[in-house]
Amino acid sequence: MSAQAHDTQARIAPFDPERIRADFPILATRVNKHPLIYLDSAATTQKPRAVIDSLERYYTENNANVHRGVHTLSQRATQAFEDAREKVRAFINAGSAAEIIFTRGTTDAINLVAQSYARTMLKAGDEILIGEAEHHANIVPWQMLCQHIGCVLKVVPINDAGELELEAVTRAWTPRIKLCAFGHISNALGSINPVREITALAHQAGAKIVIDGAQAVAHGSVNVAALDCDFYAFSGHKLFGPTGIGVLYGKRALLEAMPPYQGGGDMIKVVTFAATEYADLPYKFEAGTPHIAGGIGLGAALDYLDSIDFAGAVAHEHRLLDYATAQAQAVPGLRIIGTARAKAAVLSFTIDGIHPQDLGVILDGHGVAIRTGHHCAMPVMQRFGLAGTARASFAFYNTFDEIDCFFAALAKARRMLA
């Protein structure tokens, strides 16, 4: 073993969920006189103390605008912000920090691709292929684009288990498809899509691919070089970092060829009333003052993940999902929505005769936080003939005891609402 490997092994502590929980202050909170059981990490993850401290440290010690100042605070802020960009590059194994564009989140990143790449590279009659289980953020931008330039949106259906099968993608393929956009993991079902294989199919046909990685980055390692995807988007707040910060990875050649999505300060080299010369990557896509604290906080979140046994954390999540699924299958009248063979830590379900919102309110009274509704994935609900589901989603800070408490509260809710 190399000296570097020895250092890494010494730095990373074996995964222990109880020790990990101590890193997340909010988990000590009581809700409605009960200990908080937070099962809504697919909506947003909780933040470790290291991230919270990084935000406070920036605002109390280094608060200044970036890239523009020669004074010490500006230089410190710029260094921390750009260090965070490099941490993101390393986290997803991008080739260059110039390929890492900071955005407001996954939604903003997908809109950037739609308005900067697709609007300029696609034409009327070209087709865009998406999946039936996509989040609205990976549907609406493409609909808007199709309305403006005359492209055609095509949808690949999922099967009864909520799986997007590669065979279905192949059957849906036509020579007119120039762009496809798929979620890495479904937020509503937990299904893991075969994005590597879809990427290979797209490239064989000369098409480009956008991957919505919002749900994937917190549940396993993401390697954009191995995926060979053209674009990959994700949000900081789904990755134990702050809200309002996100990332678009794009292959450098594509980003170089794309015009800026927005204009303003910090994305220019020279401005005259006659013409403007844009800044180099990644800055030509980052108009205006960025979410500096958010970027620094995201960097702190990645440092935190680097300090723990992330592979052990992912394995723990899988055990939690298996444990919760087994308990759910024993509940009379409970139907699991999304039974894919490859799943992340999402348990979406309905109970006969009980509205998901009523269930969520009762569980909240017992300190259990779940999500109810359509989860910004209304076509999925329509596919299963539902108005919505109840969704429990897990992170590595959850425990088996919490799942037991969840199902105990669920039993009480069933008795109350029956």
For residue 91, CA distances in Å to 95, 201, 222, 302, 365 come to 11, 25, 7, 7, 38
Q: Which two tokens stand for residue 197?
A: 């294989």
Unique residue bearing structure tokens 């997803």: 92
Unique residue bearing structure tokens 């009581």: 30
Q: Which amino acid is it at 191?
A: S
Shortest CA distance to 283 belongs to which of 254, 251, 261?
Answer: 261
Is the distance from CB of 246 to CB of 232 less than 8 angstroms? no
Unique residue bearing structure tokens 């980052």: 286
Known active-site residue 376: yes
Q: Which helix (H) or strand (E) holds 31?
A: strand 30-31
Distance CA 297, CA 267 (A): 22
Shortest CA distance to 342 belongs to which of 172, 186, 199?
Answer: 186
Write phi, then psi, for 402 (nearest 5 degrees): -65, -40
Q: Which two tokens stand for residue 315?
A: 């394995």
Distance CA 67, CA 77 (A): 9
Terminal C-alpha separation, the chain: 60
Distance CA 41, CA 215 (A): 9
For residue 223, CA distances in Å to 89, 94, 104, 198 come to 10, 8, 22, 15
Catalytic residue among 146, 151, 376, 405, which? 376
Number of H helices and E strands in the chain, helices first, is: 16, 17
Q: Which two tokens stand for residue 393?
A: 């989603």
Active site residues: 376
